Structure 1
Amino acid sequence: MRVHLGSDHAGLELKDHLLNWLADNGYEAVDHGPFVFDAVDDYPVFCLRAAEAVAAEQAEGADSLGVVIGGSGNGEQMAANKVIGVRAALVWSEATAVLAREHNDANVISVGGRQHSLEDMTRFVEVFLSTPFSDEERHVRRIAQMGDYEVTRELPPLPASALGGGSDASGSSDSEA
C-alpha cells in the first residue's frame, strides 16, 4: 500500500519518523513535504498535495491512503477535505482511528504533532492503515450521500422522521397563513 504524507513545521518530526516506520513495515511512503524546517510554512501547500495524490490513485483503483500532520491536525484535516474524493478524519485515539476506517472509509487521517507522543501517533497511524472499511449498508449509504453532495451540491432529502409536525422537506409548515 502507498501512503502519502504531508505536514507543516509542527508535524515535520512525526512525518520524518513515519517515513522510516512505514518503510520498515512494508508500506511505500510518499513524502509531499515539507523537507526542511520552516516555522512559517503553510500546511495547505503540503497537505493538499498528499490528499490530491490519494484521491487520484484511488480513482485509478490503487491501494492508497494518506496521513497529514500539524500542531493540532485541525487545519490539515480541513485542507485535505477540500480535495474531491477525500474523506479526512481527525484522529486522536485508537478508537477514532478504527471508526474513521470502519464507519467512514476515511482515506486520509490527520494527527496533531503537538497533542500526543510519537509512540501514540505512530500507533494511531498503524491502526488506521490496518483497519478495513466495514462495508455495512448504513455506512455505504452515508458515504454515498456525501459523495453525491460533493458532485451535485444538492442536499440529500430529509427523512420522513425529520419532518414531524406537518413540515415538508423545505421546512415549510402545512398551516402557513
Structure 2
Amino acid sequence: MRVHLGCDHAGLDLKDHLVAWLGEHGYEPVDHGPWEYNALDDYPVFCLRAAEAVAAERAAGSDSLGIVIGGSGNGEQMAANKVAGVRAALVWSEETAVLAREHNDATVIAVGGRLHPVDELTRLVEVFLATPFSGDERHVRRIGMLADYESTGDLPPLPDSALGHSDEA
C-alpha cells in the first residue's frame, strides 16, 4: 500500500521517521515534503499534494492512504479536506484512529507532531493503516451524503422527525 506524507516544519522529524518506519513495515511511502527544515514553510504546499495524490490513486482503484503532520494537525487536516474525494480525520488516540477508518473510511489522517511522543504517533499511524472500513450501511449512507454534498452543494434532506423545525437559525 502506498502512503502519501506531507507536513510542515513542526512535523518534519516525525515525517522522516514515518517514511523509514513505513518502508520497514512493507508500505510504500511517498514523501511530498518538505525535505529540509524551514520555520517559515507553509503546510498547504505539502499537505495538499499528499492529499491530491491519495485522491487520484483511490479514484484509479488503489488503496492508498495519507498522513499529514503539523504542530497540532488542525491546519493540515483542514488542507487535506479541501481536496475533493478526501476524508481527513484528526487523530489523537488509538480510538480516534480506529473510528476514522471503521466509521468514516478516512483516507488521510492528520496528527500533531508537537502533541505526542514519536512512539505514540507511530502507533496511531500503525492502527490507522491496519484498520479496515466496516462497510456498515449507516456509515456508507453518511459518507454518501458527504460525497453528494461535495459534488453538488445540495444539503441532505432533513429527516421526518425534523419536519416543522427551521433550517434557519
Q: Could you list the runs of 5+ residues in structure 1 that have no partner in the other structure? A: 173-177
Match in the other structure for 1:103: 103
Following superposition, the deviation at residue 171 of structure 1 comes to 4.3
State how far apart, in whole Å, the 2-side matches of 1:107 and 1:58 are: 9
- Judging changes above 3 Å, is the alpha-carbon distance between structure 1 residues 171 and 111 closer, same or farther for their aligned structure 2 residues? closer
Instruction: Look up the match of 1:148.
Output: 148
Q: Distance in 1 between matches of 2:134 and 2:19?
A: 28
| Alpha-carbon distance change, 119 to 156 in structure 1, aligned in 2, over 3 angstroms | same
The AA in structure 1 aligned to 2:29 is A
Alignment RMSD, CA only? 1.0
Q: Deviations over 1:65-118 (max 9, x none)?
A: 000000000000000000000000000000000000000000000000000000
1:35 has 2:35 as partner:
yes
- The whole-number CA distance in structure 1 between the counterparts of 2:28 and 2:156 is 37
Based on CA coordinates, which of the two structures has the bigger radius of gyration?
1
1:20, distance to aligned residue in structure 2 (A): 0.5
Q: Which residue of 2 aligns with 1:175?
A: none
Query: What is the one-letter code of the residue matched to 2:35?
Result: F
Q: Which amino acid aligns with 2:77?
A: Q
Q: What is the aligned length?
A: 168
Equivalent residue number for residue 57 of structure 1: 57
Equivalent residue number for residue 7 of structure 1: 7
CA 156–119 in structure 1, closer or farther in 2 if over 3 Å, else same: same
Aligned pair 1:77/2:85, yes or no? no
Equivalent residue number for residue 137 of structure 1: 137
Query: 1:112-154 CA distances to partner (integer Å, 9 max, x unpaired)?
Result: 0000000000000000000000000000000000000000000
Shift of 1:161: 1.0
* SS in structure 2 at match of 1:161: helix
Shift of 1:155: 0.2
Alignment of 1:83-94 (within 5 A): 83-94=83-94
Counterpart of 1:110 in 2: which secondary structure?
strand
The TM-score with structure 1 as length reference comes to 0.93
The TM-score with structure 2 as length reference comes to: 0.98
**Structure 1 counterpart SS, 2:89:** strand
- CA deviations over 1:28-56 (Å, ceiling 9, x no partner): 00000000000010000000000000000
For 1:84 and 1:57, locate their aligned partners in 2 and report how far apart those are by CA, in whole Å. 13
Distance 2:96 2:32 in 1: 24
TM-superposed deviation, 1:63: 1.6
State the AA in 1 paired with 2:143.
Answer: I
Per the alignment, residue 158 of structure 1 pairs with 158
Give the share of equivalent positions with the same residue, in percent.
Answer: 75
